Structure 1
Amino acid sequence: MLGNLKPQAPDKILSLMAEFKADTRQGKIDLGVGVYKDPTGLTPVMRAVKKAEQKIWETQNTKSYTALAGEPEYRDAMSSMVLGALGGDRVASVGTVGGTGAIRQALELVRMANPDAVIHVSDPTWPNHVSILNFMGQAYEMYPYFDNETRGIAFEAMLDGIGKAKKGDVVLLHGCCHNPTGANPTAEQWDAIAESLEKTGATPLIDLAYQGFGDGLDEDAAATRMIAERLPEVLIAASCSKNFGIYRERTGILMTLTNDAKSRDLSQGAMAYLNRQNYSFPPDHGARIVSTILTDDALKADWKAELEEVRQTMLGLRTQLADELRTLSGSDKFDFIARHRGMFSRIGATPEQVARMKEDAGIYMVGDSRLNIAGLNRDTVPILARAIVEAGV
């Protein structure tokens, strides 16, 4: 039986990671994998996370199952972090296996509610969005998003695209720090997006994987909160991998907001059922770290301070890279890098130019020229800038 399985195409980013590890050159630079790295190249354990784990170790007296939907303290803390005071009685939620698990559970929930739903996805988007949709056999359509000339949003085309969604369809939106482009809507553009959703009756599914990595913890949630306030139904898939640095703990949450208690309770029951079918109880260790931090004033303050250090580091690297490129190229065409937010920017290099940078300078980035800003440090920024210019980007 198993011999009848078909070979699967390798994940491009995982393949790039393996290729990077096999490269024996000194000074090679990994800008492909989507994890935060400090100036030494380490993805550190945050101070508050270490303290929270110590506290858990000292006080936890059982490893028995938790609730099917995940611990209420974690779910409530995450709802408050994402939605502020907006959630309340409108929210149903379940803990998930990372943000990816939240996306998958959201799509399963949509299919249960409306098997004929079409998922509208930005072009480009995080590749795993499309991979999951294809694996599920879920109908989807791409809407325009990125302008390859300006390296900003093709906003009128985007509005036209999401305006084609129908009631019962879902529009998948990146809540902040768009992956892979780094280009985000302005507040005024988010208002227009919400207005389009109001007109069509489509349901937004917001992927919030990078809260705190862009303009600030509350600022990065502003669009999500605005849409949650204006729309009768909203799905939110949030991840703790980046902002808490607990990638391997696989800590996420799926939230739904509805306008009546019956729909809320139906959503809660359906999401708990999906958890049971997929993995029964969600992982607890990462969720307990997060709830321990968010419910302890001292730990929360320390976490927010370190998260702000991370954010400012990435902004500084963006500014430095844009300045280096302006100097070397004699042009302002790379200034968009300083305007983008989050870990990623798509710089507009062709696959051939990306390959040349890897061959000539040992610089590894995804073939669509998405680079991870957090993979840089002050010493490697000039190396990257020179390689970009020499490759003719």
Structure 2
Amino acid sequence: MFEHLTDQPADKILALMGAYKADPRDDKIDLGVGVYKDAEGRTPIMRAVKAAEARLLERETTKSYTALAGDPAFSDAMIDLVLADTLPRDRIAAIATPGGTGAVRQAFELIGRTTPEATIWVSDPTWPNHLSILKHLDARTRSYRYFDPASRAVDMAGMMADLGEAQPGDVVLLHGCCHNPTGANPTAEQWDEIVATLKARQLVPMIDIAYQGFGDGLDADAAATRLIASSLDEVLIAASCSKNFGIYRERTGILMAIARDVPQARKAQDNLAYLNRQNYSFPPDHGARVVSTILTDPELRADWQAELEEVREGMLKLREQLAAELRQLSNSDRFDFLAEHRGMFSRLGASPEQVARLRDDHGIYMVGDSRMNIAGLNAKTVPVLARAIIAAGI
């Protein structure tokens, strides 16, 4: 049967990682991979994670399966983190998933089972794996304008015009905060307009929130998600613990489905558990228990939030430093958007040729669409990047 297989296109980011590793230059800079790194280039284990794991090692008495939907304590803790007291808990169905990607996949699977005729509207641009999974599932998709390459801000007029063509029951995929790959987020007033459009056109929002705590703070980053959840009857939310807890390899995520009433929430819960059973049966549990241990212990939670705030403030300082360096070198404010963006990523607005020039001439690696990982920088490499950007003619 293997003779019928076809070669698959290489993953661009993985290919970029390989090229970076093969580059012999000592002063090379990796801004491509979407993983948080500290000033020493490490992805550290957070203090609270270490403490929670030590506690689990001491107290855990079994490695038997958990429930199909995962540990209920994890679901409750994550619903509280993302939604707080926005709506009654009994309107929310939830399942633990292998990372945020697993939550996204299960959400798309659920849409396919319930409304296969629905079109899923996806921002242009978006995280490439959104489109890859949707293509694999043969889902109906359309894009809506999101990013204005001139201002490097949200193209609100284009977004509203495109969503004005969506039909009742269509699904709109939104980034809850820290948009990947652009770093550009709607303002509070723009979120109000988005919610009004969703309601008026009877659209179903699906929110991918993978960077809560990396932008303006835990509650501020969840504000748009909470607004949408309180305003519409049906909402899907895929959340990841990879970034804000730093547990990438533990594959810890959750899918929440908000229903219009309790009976429908129960039906949604049954169907979500069914999807877990079909795709991977029982979800991973170690990372989920680490997260629930942290979120339900006041001392661990306080330490986690403090360290997460240090991470967030560190990225903001790097953004401000880079914008200031470029303002001085270019004698203009055209790079000030970098200080306004939030999260790990910004789209620089460089052409593929300029991105190649950064790589070939300066050893600076970023994705071909000029998405760069701000967390790949430190105070010493920011001036190096700024000089290279100007030298590349960006």
TM-score by structure 1 length?
0.99
Shift of 1:129: 0.4
Distance, in Å, in 2 between the alignment partners of 1:166 and 1:202 is 7
- Secondary structure of 1:218's counterpart equals helix
The one-letter amino acid of 1:13's match is I
- Secondary structure of 1:101's counterpart equals helix
The one-letter amino acid of 2:176's match is G
Deviations 1:20-63 (A, max 9, x none): 11111101000000000000000000000000000000000100
Distance, in Å, in 2 between the alignment partners of 1:69 and 1:26 is 47
Shift of 1:163: 2.3
Distance, in Å, in 1 between the alignment partners of 2:81 and 2:207 is 15
Deviations 1:255-277 (A, max 9, x none): 01112112101110110000000
Shift of 1:327: 0.5
- Residue 224 of structure 1: aligned partner: 225
Instruction: Answer whether contact 1:97 1:283 (CA < 8 A) is retained.
Output: yes
Distance, in Å, in 2 between the alignment partners of 1:167 and 1:209 is 27
The one-letter amino acid of 2:3's match is G
- Residue 110 of structure 2: aligned partner: 109
Distance, in Å, in 2 between the alignment partners of 1:167 and 1:205 is 14
- Residue 346 of structure 2: aligned partner: 345
- Residue 241 of structure 1: aligned partner: 242
Shift of 1:165: 1.6
Where in structure 2 are the equivalents of 1:161-200 lying within 5 Å? 161-200=162-201
Instruction: Answer whether contact 1:105 1:254 (CA < 8 A) is retained.
Output: yes
Shift of 1:77: 0.1
Distance, in Å, in 2 between the alignment partners of 1:176 and 1:381 is 24
Distance, in Å, in 2 between the alignment partners of 1:306 and 1:162 is 39
- Residue 61 of structure 1: aligned partner: 61
- Secondary structure of 1:371's counterpart equals strand
- Residue 19 of structure 2: aligned partner: 19
Deviations 1:157-211 (A, max 9, x none): 1111122222221000000000000000000000000000001111000000000
- Residue 84 of structure 1: aligned partner: 84
Residue 280 (structure 2) pairs with residue 284 (structure 1): no
Distance, in Å, in 2 between the alignment partners of 1:351 and 1:32 is 14
Residue 380 (structure 2) pairs with residue 386 (structure 1): no
- Structure 1 range deviating more: 142-151 or 161-170: 161-170
Where in structure 2 are the equivalents of 1:1-393 lying within 5 Å? 1-87=1-87, 88-393=89-394
Distance, in Å, in 1 between the alignment partners of 2:164 and 2:299 is 45
Distance, in Å, in 1 between the alignment partners of 2:301 and 2:153 is 34
Structure 2 gap segments, 5+ residues each: none
Any runs of at least 4 consecutive aligned residues in structure 1 with deviations exceeding 3 A, and if so which? Answer: none
The one-letter amino acid of 2:370's match is S
Distance, in Å, in 2 between the alignment partners of 1:374 and 1:164 is 37
Distance, in Å, in 2 between the alignment partners of 1:268 and 1:93 is 6
Deviations 1:192-237 (A, max 9, x none): 0000000111100000000000000000000000000000100000
Instruction: Answer whether contact 1:163 1:197 (CA < 8 A) is retained.
Output: no
Distance, in Å, in 2 between the alignment partners of 1:201 and 1:17 is 42
Distance, in Å, in 2 between the alignment partners of 1:96 and 1:329 is 46
Deviations 1:71-123 (A, max 9, x none): 00000000000000124111100000100000000000001111101100000
Shift of 1:353: 0.2
- Structure 1 range deviating more: 156-165 or 195-204: 156-165
- Secondary structure of 2:177's counterpart equals coil
- Secondary structure of 2:334's counterpart equals coil
How many residue pairs get aligned? The number is 393
Instruction: Answer whether contact 1:176 1:208 (CA < 8 A) is retained.
Output: yes
Distance, in Å, in 2 between the alignment partners of 1:325 and 1:286 is 40
Structure 1 gap segments, 5+ residues each: none
Distance, in Å, in 1 between the alignment partners of 2:168 and 2:392 is 47
Q: CA RMSD in A?
A: 0.6
Distance, in Å, in 2 between the alignment partners of 1:234 and 1:375 is 34
Distance, in Å, in 1 between the alignment partners of 2:107 and 2:358 is 38
Distance, in Å, in 2 between the alignment partners of 1:181 and 1:226 is 22
Identity %: 65
- Secondary structure of 2:200's counterpart equals helix
Distance, in Å, in 2 between the alignment partners of 1:61 and 1:365 is 45
Shift of 1:286: 0.4
- Secondary structure of 1:232's counterpart equals coil
Distance, in Å, in 2 between the alignment partners of 1:277 and 1:144 is 35
The one-letter amino acid of 1:151's match is R
Deviations 1:110-140 (A, max 9, x none): 0111110110000000000001111111010
TM-score by structure 2 length?
0.99
Distance, in Å, in 2 between the alignment partners of 1:339 and 1:273 is 42
- Secondary structure of 1:332's counterpart equals coil
Deviations 1:330-356 (A, max 9, x none): 110000000000000001000000000
